[in-house]
């Protein structure tokens, strides 16, 4: 089965959400439009809608996470689903049980959705290809490959603040080599028709074939930031580095850290984004992270609505399939 089509059903509805790559612009717009309708739920006195009442969502996080796991849990609960958080460190997989055995045991408990984060690229596709037909899989980050819900909450944030994607110049700065977020962002920005996508970083942290993704590569940060509308800073992925990619954090900050003088080269109304967690004084200066152009906390807030939208759309596909049978 094609790894880009496995996430769609016969009617091209979202069955799983594994990657941005291969999805049509209309589907990305549908996710953002539905997220817009959910964005007010958090401001209600009762922060719930009944769309997933009676459904069970399982968070399977094989890598540490706070922000992503928490927002997925909140999203599921605000859709009225029951949520099960599996402590992988204490699970049977540490006793020799295979990943598939773990999945099949959870299926036997009549769960409906797996939210998966795993260190291996392709793990979400592997799980989606082996689960029962009634179960949806959402990729919460797999190795260096993809983090599609992070990319979509970033797109939602950009659309809310900037409107028309076609007029925008976007710069993605930092450790692109190890970043699953950057790959998903580039696919999303390209699909949504952004005018220009720039990637900025040292040669050691830019993939050799980056240009094949349709981006413009810069190694000089000041040139790369000139006249951009959106600046997306990336975290240094120390946990995925297995060699000396940088001379020192101090030198990296001097050359590629976002500071007031560098940001001044972007458009005056440029917004600053970061998928988090932030390494202050390494990727970004504190006065920028907390400044008037920063929308980092808005990204976190928008993550709940976007993840609600993705969950609702994938479960809608299953409901339609069950009705058809």
Q: Answer whether 168's CB lies under 8 Å from 154's CB.
A: no
Q: How far apart are CA 33 and CA 22, in angstroms?
A: 19
Q: Answer whether 233's CB lies under 8 Å from 174's CB.
A: yes
What kind and span of H or E run contains 190? helix 180-191
Specify if 12 maps to a domain: no
Tokens of 204: 């050691």
The answer to whether residues 142 and 266 belong to one domain is no
Quote the DSSP letter at residue 91.
S
The answer to whether residues 305 and 266 belong to one domain is no
The answer to whether residues 158 and 286 belong to one domain is yes
Query: Would you state the pLDDT for residue 47?
Result: 87
Tokens of 200: 């900025």
Specify if 3 maps to a domain: no
Query: Would you state the pLDDT for residue 102?
Result: 83
Structural domain harbouring 48: 25-147+301-324
The answer to whether residues 118 and 30 belong to one domain is yes
Residues 139-151, mean pLDDT to the nearest whole number: 95
The answer to whether residues 232 and 245 belong to one domain is yes
The answer to whether residues 166 and 271 belong to one domain is yes
Specify if 291 maps to a domain: yes
Work out the number of other CB atoms within 10 angstroms of the CB of residue 198: 19
The answer to whether residues 40 and 112 belong to one domain is yes
Q: How far apart are CA 17 and CA 115, in angstroms?
A: 10
The answer to whether residues 93 and 152 belong to one domain is no
Q: Is 210 exposed, middle or buried (0-12, 13-18, 19+ CB in 10 A)?
A: middle
Work out the number of other CB atoms within 10 angstroms of the CB of residue 56: 16
Which ranges in 79-179 belong to alpha helices (H)? 99-108, 123-128, 148-162
Q: Is the pLDDT of residue 269 over 90?
A: yes
Rg (CA), the chain: 20
The answer to whether residues 217 and 249 belong to one domain is yes
Specify if 170 maps to a domain: yes
The answer to whether residues 189 and 287 belong to one domain is yes
Whose tokens are 């599996």? That residue is 86
Residues 154-167, mean pLDDT to the nearest whole number: 97
Query: Would you state the pLDDT for residue 247?
Result: 67
Counted domains in the chain? 2
The answer to whether residues 136 and 228 belong to one domain is no
pLDDT tens digit string along 195-254? 999 999 999 999 988 999 999 999 999 999 999 999 999 998 765 444 446 668 889 999
Kindly report the CATH number assigned to the domain that includes residue 231.
Answer: 3.40.50.1370
The answer to whether residues 289 and 162 belong to one domain is yes
């Amino acid at each position: 089965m094609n790894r880009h089509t496995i996430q769609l059903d016969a009617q091209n509805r979202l069955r799983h959400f594994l990657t941005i790559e291969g999805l049509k612009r209309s589907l990305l717009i549908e996710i953002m439009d539905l997220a817009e309708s959910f964005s007010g739920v958090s401001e209600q006195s009762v922060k719930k809608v009944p769309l997933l009442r009676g459904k069970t969502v399982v968070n399977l996080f094989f890598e540490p996470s706070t922000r992503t796991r928490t927002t997925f849990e909140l999203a599921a609960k605000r859709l009225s689903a029951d949520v099960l958080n599996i402590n992988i460190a204490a699970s049977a997989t540490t006793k020799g049980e295979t990943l598939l055995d773990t999945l099949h045991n959870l299926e036997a408990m009549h769960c409906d959705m797996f939210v998966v984060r795993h260190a291996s690229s392709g793990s979400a596709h592997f799980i989606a290809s082996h689960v029962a037909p009634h179960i949806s899989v959402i990729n919460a980050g797999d190795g260096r490959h993809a983090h599609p819900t992070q990319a979509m909450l970033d797109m939602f944030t950009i659309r809310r603040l900037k409107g028309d994607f076609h007029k925008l110049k976007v710069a993605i700065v930092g450790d692109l080599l190890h970043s699953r977020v950057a790959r998903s962002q580039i696919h999303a920005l390209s699909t949504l028709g952004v005018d220009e996508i720039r990637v900025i970083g040292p040669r050691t942290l830019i993939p050799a074939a980056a240009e094949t993704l349709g981006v413009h590569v810069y190694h000089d940060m000041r040139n790369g930031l000139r006249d951009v509308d959106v600046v997306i800073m990336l975290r240094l992925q120390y946990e995925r580095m297995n060699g000396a990619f940088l001379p020192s954090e101090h030198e990296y900050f001097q050359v590629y850290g976002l500071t007031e003088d560098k940001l001044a080269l972007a458009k005056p109304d440029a917004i600053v984004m970061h998928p988090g967690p932030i390494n202050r004084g390494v990727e970004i200066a504190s006065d920028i992270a907390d400044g008037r152009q920063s929308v980092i906390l808005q990204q976190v807030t928008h993550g709940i609505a976007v993840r609600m939208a993705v969950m609702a759309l994938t479960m809608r596909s299953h409901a339609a399939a069950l009705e058809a049978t």
